[in-house]
Each structure stands twice: as structure tokens, then as C-alpha cells.
Amino acid sequence: DTGVSQNPRHKITKRGQNVTFRCDPISEHNRLYWYRQTLGQGPEFLTYFQNEAQLEKSRLLSDRFSAERPKGSFSTLEIQRTEQGDSAMYLCASSSLAGGYNEQFFGPGTRLTVL
């Protein structure tokens, strides 16, 4: 297990289409986070899971966004009816109790471009 992986790395879509991203965390990590990063900004928290339970959601996560982690392993982030303002880098991170949950390991991100 070499780290957190995210697929796809790049996604270009037309406005109004639905997109889904996948994140595979480090296998023994039971917490998984989604962040969004726009140009010139730091990562912004979207949501996080403890195992399969989604425990917190940011107000940034509109009703067009949904995240799942059905078996407590990989997670998906779906954006419905994409808008140009959704264009960003979507980062996934995972952490474990061994690291006090504070040390998050990030994936390389999925860059979304909405035309």
C-alpha cells in the first residue's frame, strides 16, 4: 500500500453533467476526508467519514454533492448538474488513530474542469 490514490486524475465535463470521483485511502486508515482546493487557496474541508459513517459536512457541500463510503474502505464523491464554479482540485485524505487522526495523508487529487 503506497498511499492514498484518487481516480481519475483529471476530469473535463460540460456544465450540467454529473461526475463521480473515487478515493482509495491507506488500508488501515478509518478516517477519510474530502477537500476542495481552488487556485490560490488552501484546501477547504467538505466532509469526512469515520469508517462508513459520514460524520460531518461543510456548508460548502451543497445538495448537488454527495459522498459515500459504503464499506468503510474506498469513497466516492459525486457532483450532480455540475456548474462552472465547481471547477477545482478535489483532494482526498485519510488518517488513523495511530496518528491521532490529526496527521492526514493526502492523495494527488482529481482536477475537475467544467466547461
Q: Determine which residue in the list 44, 52, 54, 96 makes contact with another protein, applying CB under 8 A.
A: 44
What is the sign, positive or negative, of the torsion defined by CA atoms of 55, 58, 60, 63?
positive
Binding of residue 4 to another protein (CB under 8 A): yes
CA 88 to chain centre: 11
Among 32, 91, 112, 114, binds another protein (CB under 8 A): 91
Question: Which residue lies nearer to another protein by CB, 74 or 106?
Answer: 106
Is 108 a binding residue for another protein by CB under 8 A? The answer is yes
Q: Name residues whose C-beta falls within 8 Å of residue 58's C-beta, 6 or more positions apart in sequence.
A: 44, 45, 46, 47
Cell of 97: 488513530
Which range in 12-20, 41-49, 59-67, 79-87 contacts another protein by CB under 8 A?
41-49
Q: Binding of another protein at residue 49 (CB under 8 A)?
A: no
Q: Which of 41, 51, 62, 113 binds another protein (CB under 8 A)?
A: 41
Cα-only R_g, the chain: 13
Q: Which residues contact 57 (CB under 8 A, 6 or more apart)?
A: 46, 47
**Of the candidate residues 19, 34, 75, 109, the single one contacting another protein (CB under 8 A):** 109
Quote the DSSP letter at residue 9: S
Residues that bind another protein (CB under 8 A): 4, 33, 35, 40-45, 48, 55-56, 58, 91, 93, 101-109
